[in-house]
Every structure is written in structure tokens, then in C-alpha cells.
Amino acid sequence: MQLWRFLKPAALGFTLRNGSQLLFDWVTGAPPIPLRVRDYVAVHAREGDPVDVLRAMDRFAVEERFLMNVGPDKGPLVRELLAKLPSNARILELGAFCGYSAILLATTLGTDGKIVSVEKSGAAVEGTRANVAYAGLADRVQVIHGSSTEIIPSLEGPFDLVFLDHWKDLYKTDLEVIEKCGLLRKGSLVVADNVGEVFGAAPYLEYVRGCGRYENETRTATIEYTKIPDAVEISEYKGDGRAV
């Protein structure tokens, strides 16, 4: 990700605010954000109520500390996409952070759906597992600790939807590994969050739009809890003989 893009005028206020928060956390030795969110959820949300858990995370993001969640503005898009999937769909998520999107996906999909979420950060894994369990969804969401590129070959496919929401420089690399491992079927959706200009996602977008294996749609959006322009890329896999 090209960090200089966050110094553009449209993103400068956002960058300065979050940079100062990171500096404060470093100076004070504050716990990792996912663990702070976990503790906040345990105090401010009703146990067993996924919707209230998401509301608590939204409040934390607005009132306490910015969170790079999917956020409430993209919720309708998530529900729209999941409505196209079977009730027992399998979803692969790369990048769990605090568990927001895993909870949203699992709640929207229903009791027969399964989410596999891969996360490299140990603190994020701990926080996500706690939040998912607190929301009452531990039986629908499996959180795997490890590097996405290393974990993907060990997964069993196919997946009906792949949600990319981790380090943006890995989007293209990991999608190629997913394809190579046969984890997509014809009609599988690959949804890449945060592909707006500020994130420097051009290599990924060039790949999915130019490789000939996807039908693509771009949805404009904003960076979570801000007014900074962003986008989501939705790619339907057409297959190339390797898909299940």
C-alpha cells in the first residue's frame, strides 16, 4: 500500500488524527486495538446479540478510536451479495481485525453458512474469537491464526464467496494462490474492500479486470466512518477449467 496517498488533502485530516492516536498508544503502551474492542464489547453489548455487538463496535469506532471495519454503510451491500448465495454457503475471509465483518457475514448468511477467517495478528485473532463467541456465533465462524498466503493452500474448497480485507498488497498474490488451489467454483464471488485510489489497489484491479476469468463490478463507497472516497470491487469467477 502506498502510504503517501494518505497525505493527499482529502485524507490528510484522517491521517493526522489516526497518526496521533497511534503515537499516543505507543507512548502510553496501550493494549492492541482488537483487545480494547473486545473489552468494550463485553461492557457495552448484549451477549448473544450479534446486531448489538456490531452496534457497540460502531460506537467504539466513532467515539473512541477509528476502526478499519466494514462499517454500517457497507452493510446493505454485504446483505445484497449474500442474498445471491445458497443458505449453506462457505465464505473465506482474509483479514479478521476485530471480527466485525465475520459477525456481519455469519449473521446475514444464516445458521447453515460457515465463515473461515484467516488473520495474521495474534491480538486480532484473540479479539475476533472473543467477539464472535460473545455474539453467539462461534459455531459458524472459524478463525485461523497465520499468514494468509501460507494458510490458503491448506484450506478445503470451494468457497462461494471470498472477502479480501487484509493487507492490500496481498490481494493479487493471495487471489492467485486461491485460484491455483482450486478454492473457487464457477459463480464464486470475490469481494475486495478498500480498492479506492487512496489504497493503491491498481495491480489487483488490473489483474481481476484483465485476466479474463471474472466479470467485474465496482461499487463506490467511503472509507469506514469517514467521507473519504473509496470503492469495493465485486468479481464473479467464470472458471477456467480448474474450478470445482
Residue linked to cell 488451489: 181
Catalytic residue among 165, 174, 230, 233: 165
- DSSP strand E in the chain: where? 90-94, 114-119, 141-145, 159-164, 184-192, 214-222, 229-237
Query: Is residue 159 a contact partner of residue 131, using CB atoms and an 8 Å limit?
Result: no
- Compute φ and ψ for 172, nearest 5 degrees: -65, -45
- 74 catalytic? Reply is no
- Which residue among the candidates 58, 119, 193, 233 is catalytic per the annotation? 193
Side chain identity, residue 195: V
Per-residue HEC secondary structure of 132-146 comes to: HHHCCCCCCEEEEEC
- What's the chain's length in residues? 244
Based on the residue annotation, tell me whether 193 is a catalytic residue of this protein. Answer: yes
Task: Say whether 114 is catalytic.
Answer: no
Q: Among 166, 163, 138, which Cα is nearest to 81's?
A: 163
Sign of the torsion angle spanned by Cα atoms 41, 47, 50, 52: negative
168 is catalytic: yes
Please identify which of the residues 58, 69, 194, 230 carries the catalytic annotation: 194
Out of 174, 224, 230, 233, which one is annotated catalytic?
A: 224
224 catalytically annotated = yes
Retrieve residue 130's grid coordinates: 472473543
Write down the catalytic residue from 168, 174, 230, 233. 168
Name the grid cell of 124. 486480532
Grid cell for residue 161: 464467496
Catalytic residues: 165, 168, 193-194, 224
